[in-house]
């Protein structure tokens, strides 16, 4: 077991990275002393795959499972209130409730937001089961649900009491979902570590087939990279954490404009990173060669490199993004691998033109 501390001033916690230790999770949670009744929020897919394992590990007198839905729809008003209704039924005298978010990033975001808001905040634990959630979404305390007009538009910074990453959950993850996580791994390679970029480029085949050592190295590297940024700028007030949004401005606009259906988050991030790199090259911030290297690695991992979509719809979603402030859009641009800059000084006309040409 590997322990990675998240050294935050008011809410420090530990990330535990394990393999084949799912049965030990309840004991770990017990040791945290965060309550006496756990509400496990999960998706139908995860529940059907791990029903027996969960029943054997979690005592039903101390845990209740609530199943929402697979995918982005879980992050909606409908499921937010549906889960709250169910928690209310369980919230009885002498029960000290806590939340366990067991699933992909959508479950973590929903479960975390419920934990942040129910009774103005109850403890929660993240058990991420997708690669994307293990290396990114479960860490750092961003929780949120969506509105049809904008993604993650209702949310809170709310830290978990622990993150329990067990690599063995990934054995059942379909290849398509593994790739979603790899999009975020490429993001970490671009924003923080050129050596990690080389590692990904060299080991693409082993990573895609979930070779144990490669996977373990990938998870640890991404987790540490995210923890470092979060420790420096927990609530995104210093402009440091913003770099984690590399590729995400266009990504969120694409996801919203396509009703959270046509593209998954990782695919949208892959496209958003290509757009951000191309725009950086167009503005002379990075070389064409660097932008090309990014497109190449995204392609090698089987992620999309182009999309055609209605420009007006995408632009409208762009302007609803949280990063769109008084007519200016905040973008993370690339100078070189491992070197990015946050800017809101790009004229809107250039942004409009570049989006238009990207979508053709
Ligand atoms: N809070 C953050 O900091 C942060 C960071 C990155 C992404 N996100 C959010 O994460 C979400 C995407 O997360 P995701 O890619 O994990 O998608 P997801 O949660 O929709 O999971 C993808 C699919 O995989 C299934 N699944 C989960 N674990 C499985 C397993 N072990 N075996 C088989 N199937 C499994 C799920 O039921 C679902 O159908 C987006 O909403 C994105 O905005 C949040
Ligand atoms: Zn993301």
> Of all helices (H) and strands (E), which one includes residue 329?
strand 328-329
Catalytic: 226? yes
For residues 244-263, give the mean pLDDT.
Answer: 92
pLDDT confidence bin for 318, thresholds 50/70/90? confident
Q: What is the pLDDT of residue 308?
A: 86
Q: How far is the CA of 90 from the centre of ligand 1 (A)?
A: 26
Ligand nearest to the CA of 245: 2
Q: Whose CA is nearest to atom 36 of ligand 1?
A: 70
Residue 221 tokens read as 């590297």
DSSP, residue by residue, 188-230 = HHHHT-HHHHHHHHHTHHHHHTT-HHHHHHHHHHHHHHHHHHH
Distance (Å, whole) CA 333 – CA 278: 9
What backbone phi and psi angles, to 5 degrees, belong to 240?
-80, -45
Q: What is the pLDDT of residue 325?
A: 61
Q: Whose CA is nearest to atom 20 of ligand 1?
A: 71
Inter-CA distances, 21 with 144, 165, 270, 334, Å: 29, 10, 32, 39
State the sign of the Cα–Cα–Cα–Cα dihedral 175, 177, 14, 95.
Answer: negative
Q: What is the pLDDT of residue 329?
A: 81
Q: What is the pLDDT of residue 323?
A: 61
Q: Whose CA is nearest to atom 5 of ligand 1?
A: 137
Query: Among candidates 55, 113, 61, which has minimal Cα distance to 84?
Result: 113
For residues 110-138, give the mean pLDDT.
Answer: 98
Q: What is the pLDDT of residue 327?
A: 65
Mean pLDDT score of the chain: 95
Catalytic: 241? yes
pLDDT one-digit tens code per residue, 33-77 = 999 999 999 999 999 999 999 999 999 999 999 999 999 999 999
For residue 261, pLDDT over 90 is answered with: no
Residue 329 tokens read as 């859009």
Residue 86 tokens read as 């169910």
Q: What is the pLDDT of residue 190?
A: 97
Ligand nearest to the CA of 108: 1
- Which residues surround ligand 1 with Cβ inside 6 Å? 43, 45-46, 49, 70-72, 75, 103-107, 109, 129-130, 132-133, 136-137, 140, 142, 169, 172-173, 177, 180, 265-266
For residues 87-111, give the mean pLDDT.
Answer: 97
Q: What is the pLDDT of residue 121?
A: 98
Inter-CA distances, 62 with 114, 157, 283, 295, Å: 19, 27, 57, 48
For residues 131-148, give the mean pLDDT.
Answer: 97
pLDDT confidence bin for 324, thresholds 50/70/90? low
Strands 124-128 and 328-329, bridge-based pairing: unpaired
Q: What is the pLDDT of residue 345?
A: 84
Atom of ligand 1 nearest to the CA of 128: 28
Q: How far is the CA of 137 from the centre of ligand 2 (A)?
A: 7
> Of all helices (H) and strands (E), which one includes residue 65?
strand 63-67
Radius of gyration of the chain (CA): 20
Q: How far is the CA of 180 from the centre of ligand 1 (A)?
A: 8
Q: How far is the CA of 227 from the centre of ligand 2 (A)?
A: 15
What backbone phi and psi angles, to 5 degrees, belong to 325?
-120, 125
For residue 138, pLDDT over 70 is answered with: yes
Q: How far is the CA of 31 from the centre of ligand 2 (A)?
A: 31
For residues 189-197, give the mean pLDDT.
Answer: 93
Q: What is the pLDDT of residue 322?
A: 60
Q: Whose CA is nearest to atom 2 of ligand 1?
A: 137
Catalytic: 142? yes
pLDDT one-digit tens code per residue, 291-306 = 999 999 999 999 999 9
Q: Whose CA is nearest to atom 6 of ligand 1?
A: 137
Catalytic: 184? yes
% pLDDT > 70, the chain: 98
């Amino acid at each position: 077991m590997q322990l990675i501390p998240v050294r935050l001033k008011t809410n420090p916690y530990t990330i535990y990275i394990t393999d084949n230790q799912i049965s030990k999770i309840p004991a770990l949670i017990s040791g945290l002393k965060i309550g006496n009744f756990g509400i496990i929020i999960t998706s139908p897919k995860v529940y059907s795959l791990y029903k027996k394992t969960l029943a054997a590990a979690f005592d039903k007198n101390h845990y209740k499972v609530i199943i929402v839905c697979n995918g982005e729809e879980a992050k909606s008003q409908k499921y937010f209130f549906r889960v709250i209704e169910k928690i209310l039924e369980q919230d009885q005298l002498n029960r000290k409730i806590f939340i366990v978010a067991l699933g992909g990033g959508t479950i973590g975001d929903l479960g975390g937001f419920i934990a942040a808001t129910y009774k103005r905040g109850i403890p929660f634990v993240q058990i991420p089961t997708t690669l994307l959630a293990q290396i990114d979404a479960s860490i750092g305390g961003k929780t949120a649900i969506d509105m049809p007009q904008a993604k993650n538009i209702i949310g809170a910074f709310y830290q978990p009491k622990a993150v329990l990453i067990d690599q063995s959950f990934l054995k059942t993850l379909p290849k398509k979902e593994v790739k979603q996580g790899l999009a975020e791994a490429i993001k970490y390679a671009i924003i923080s570590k050129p050596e990690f970029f080389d590692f990904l480029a060299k080991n693409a085949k082993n990573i895609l087939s979930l070779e144990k050592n490669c996977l373990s190295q990938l998870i640890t590297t991404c987790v540490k990279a995210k923890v470092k940024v979060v420790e420096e700028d927990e609530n995104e007030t210093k402009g440091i954490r913003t770099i984690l949004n590399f590729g995400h401005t266009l990504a969120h606009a694409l996801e919203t404009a396509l009703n959270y259906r046509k593209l998954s988050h990782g695919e949208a991030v892959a496209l958003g990173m290509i757009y951000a790199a191309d725009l950086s090259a167009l503005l002379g911030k990075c070389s064409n060669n660097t932008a090309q290297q990014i497109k190449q690695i995204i392609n090698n991992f089987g992620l999309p490199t182009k999309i055609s979509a209605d420009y007006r719809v995408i632009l409208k979603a762009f302007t609803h993004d949280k990063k769109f402030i008084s007519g200016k859009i905040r973008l993370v641009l690339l100078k070189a691998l491992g070197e990015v800059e946050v800017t809101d000084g790009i004229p809107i006309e250039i942004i409009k033109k570049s989006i238009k040409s990207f979508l053709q």
